[in-house]
Structure 1
Amino acid sequence: MIQPPRFWSLQRISVPSVLLAPVGGLYGWVSGRRMRGKPKAVASVPVVCVGNYVVGGAGKTPTALALARIARAQGLTPGFLTRGYGGSAREPLLVDLAKHDSALVGDEALLLAAAGPVVVSADRPAGLPLLAQAGVDLIIMDDGFQNPSLKKDLSLIVVDGATGIGNGRVFPAGPLRAPLRTQIVRTDAVIVVGEGKPGDRMVRRVSRAGKLVLKAKLEPASKRVWGPRSFLAFAGIGRPEKFFNTLDRAGVPLTDVKGFPDHHAYTAEDARKLLARAEADGLDLITTSKDYARLARQEGDLAKLREATQVFEVRMHFENEARIAALITETVRRVATR
């Protein structure tokens, strides 16, 4: 399983980080210059960007889904714009759950499509006409904070409280996608998901910059009593161990776990091995919504794996949901008068 380099999470100076600092400096200069560029397009409806400062996942998709739920409660018709990471689509595409799979549009697009219209487009502005045809009056952009091509009316940054921004250095010396200062300046609010000292340090830094900080946590979408059989959990996400720990805290009895790389495309061999391990030890299988989406519209052993696997669904819970709702309302009002 591919893991981020350990030195990315170290607060002290490390040899690999120092050696890679010149490359990180060049990368940061290029990415920072790109972020400071003038947007090429302005949408006719508000654009809410859900991004993060670092490479890897932090909870953007659950946050985007929660924002859509809040927007619908306000009478809005939200839609999603995503690059479709992991998919092969090269032209803007309106996602159809009855026809498309993760190989074409990516797993995140499939999850979002259950909550509203989703357009997959690496060129964000090129996807706007399809969203307009779908009758969307609020665009939630999943990722793309560092991409300047489309004007963002509200930028919400998701930070994992357990990892923060790691060592605070720019890729590849650290996990940052661009210099932190350049990113903070363009941030409207930071959503810290979960607890941890790295997240606390991020809160202090963002607060000093005068930015709004909101707290949130991922929690089970529904409560249930687990058992009596134990589980083999598998996941191909940014931090599989985070999912396994969540299962443990929710009282899911775990006997075995198997982690895969982020956005892993499961093979028939993967399916056979997981099914065989589960059968040999008398275990049930459980995975994330994203992994389950990747198994959709498959055949043979992959279809068998999907049929035999339970999904542990989570939702994003905001500590102050009213503040999030107010941000959306303020953004809609501001865009209506521009």
Structure 2
Amino acid sequence: MREPAFWYRPSSWISLLLTPLGAVYGFAAALRLQRPGFGAGVPVLCVGNYHTGGAGKTPTVLALAKVLRDLGETPVVLSRGYGGRLQGPVKVDPARHAAGDVGDEPLMLAQTVSVVVARDRVDGVALARSQGASVILMDDGFQNPAIAKDASLIVIDGDRGLGNGRVFPAGPLRAPLPPQLARTDALIVIGDGKAADAVADAINAQDKPVLRARLKPDAASAASLSGKRVLAFAGIGDPRRFFRTLRGSGIEVVRERVFPDHHPYSASEIDALAADAARDGLTLVTTEKDLVRLRGGAGLPDRTRDIVAFAVSLAFEEDARLRKFVADRLFQARQNKFRRD
């Protein structure tokens, strides 16, 4: 899906026209948020966002998985496997599965951490626990009440913010903002932009942590593109952020190509990109998530040899504060379970 441009305009007649639909959708979504969830039996940390589209959840999940491992935990990521055909529950195996089976994000995450894909998240919990999970790390699912969460960490992009602040389809919000704010345990703001300041102030007012982070380019990726002119393409939630990150790393981006989020590339599209790049001596560069899809596409793996994946990780300004938040939440979750038992 490609986000409508009017979602990120202050005022739009299309948005106003769709506002009544957004009110109905938002009312149902707010009611749904109040439903009690299934107790997983182990702590559950959810990484989500308030809106549709990209905000930086995948690098956040990877960063949290590292924190959990450093704390001696065994995290297993639970995902619905958006874009994949398998209903699950299934443990993702990068050697056996393709993005078309389990989705691009789970396949990318599975290269670093154990991942379970399940359309029914409750069934996914059982498989995750059978894999030895001491903590379940939910990739998305903040608005879904199926599983009780011990902490919800919400990711927001500092440059994009929440767009026009309206509820889908009038805007990008998945539910009205007030009930979402009330269920937020920590806010993660990625980047230096000011578009998320109002939300950060609202979270601070609730005496909840606001954690600031930046996307940090992988040194090897940046070095491989040093001195080269590139044609950058991406089919993710926010391709523009990817292009900004490239330029911020000193890479000369000559041309950009934007595709819808989770776009299933065709051989003809990649051939066209390669021909375009070859005409001006440009290097093709894309995201790790896009390359995961390309390598699993029919007839595409051979075409990926000359495409460079630009890797990034999430660096927090206050690592110790993030670690303390996670450790405290795990302790509270286990204390609560002990009292119930």
**Fold equivalence (TM over 0.5):** yes
Alignment partner, residue 180 of structure 2: 183
Q: How does 1:34-113 map to 2 (within 5 A)?
A: 34-39=32-37, 41-113=38-110
Q: Measure the CA separation in 2 of the matches of 1:182 and 1:293.
A: 35
Unaligned stretches of 5+ residues in structure 1: none
- 1:271-302 alpha-carbon deviations (Å, 9 max, x no partner): 211121222222211110100111224453x1
Answering whether residue 148 of structure 2 is matched by residue 148 of structure 1, we say: no
Displacement of 1:197 in angstroms is: 2.5
Alignment partner, residue 208 of structure 2: 211
Unaligned stretches of 5+ residues in structure 2: none
Q: Measure the CA separation in 1 of the matches of 2:45 and 2:185.
A: 10
Q: Measure the CA separation in 2 of the matches of 1:240 and 1:261.
A: 9
Displacement of 1:234 in angstroms is: 1.0
Alignment partner, residue 24 of structure 1: 22
Query: Structure 1 stretch 204-213 or stretch 20-29: which is displaced more?
Result: 204-213
Alignment partner, residue 233 of structure 1: 232
2:45 alignment partner, SS class: strand
Q: 1:244 to 1:50 in 2, by over 3 A?
A: same
Displacement of 1:305 in angstroms is: 2.5
State whether residues 189 and 210 of structure 2, in contact with CA within 8 Å, keep that contact through their aligned partners in structure 1.
yes
TM-score normalised to the size of structure 2? 0.94
Answering whether residue 218 of structure 2 is matched by residue 221 of structure 1, we say: yes
Q: Identical aligned pairs, as a percentage? A: 46
Amino acid at match of 1:195: D
TM-score normalised to the size of structure 1? 0.95
Alignment partner, residue 246 of structure 1: 245
Q: Measure the CA separation in 2 of the matches of 1:34 and 1:261.
A: 28
Alignment partner, residue 323 of structure 1: 321
Answering whether residue 277 of structure 2 is matched by residue 278 of structure 1, we say: yes
Query: Structure 1 stretch 226-235 or stretch 238-247: which is displaced more?
Result: 226-235
Q: Measure the CA separation in 1 of the matches of 2:315 and 2:185.
A: 19
Q: Measure the CA separation in 1 of the matches of 2:34 and 2:58.
A: 25
Q: 1:278 to 1:6 in 2, by over 3 A?
A: closer
Displacement of 1:95 in angstroms is: 0.4
Displacement of 1:91 in angstroms is: 2.5
State whether residues 154 and 187 of structure 2, in contact with CA within 8 Å, keep that contact through their aligned partners in structure 1.
yes
Question: CA RMSD of the aligned region, Å?
Answer: 1.5
Q: 1:253 to 1:14 in 2, by over 3 A?
A: closer
Q: Measure the CA separation in 2 of the matches of 1:206 and 1:228.
A: 42
Answering whether residue 308 of structure 2 is matched by residue 310 of structure 1, we say: yes
Q: Measure the CA separation in 2 of the matches of 1:278 and 1:8.
A: 32
Q: Measure the CA separation in 2 of the matches of 1:93 and 1:121.
A: 7
Amino acid at match of 2:252: P
Q: 1:116 to 1:180 in 2, by over 3 A?
A: same
Q: Measure the CA separation in 1 of the matches of 2:328 and 2:208.
A: 16
Displacement of 1:117 in angstroms is: 1.1
Displacement of 1:207 in angstroms is: 2.1
Amino acid at match of 1:241: R
- 1:180-236 alpha-carbon deviations (Å, 9 max, x no partner): 011011110111111222112221232233332111111102264444431111110
Displacement of 1:115 in angstroms is: 1.6
Amino acid at match of 2:35: G
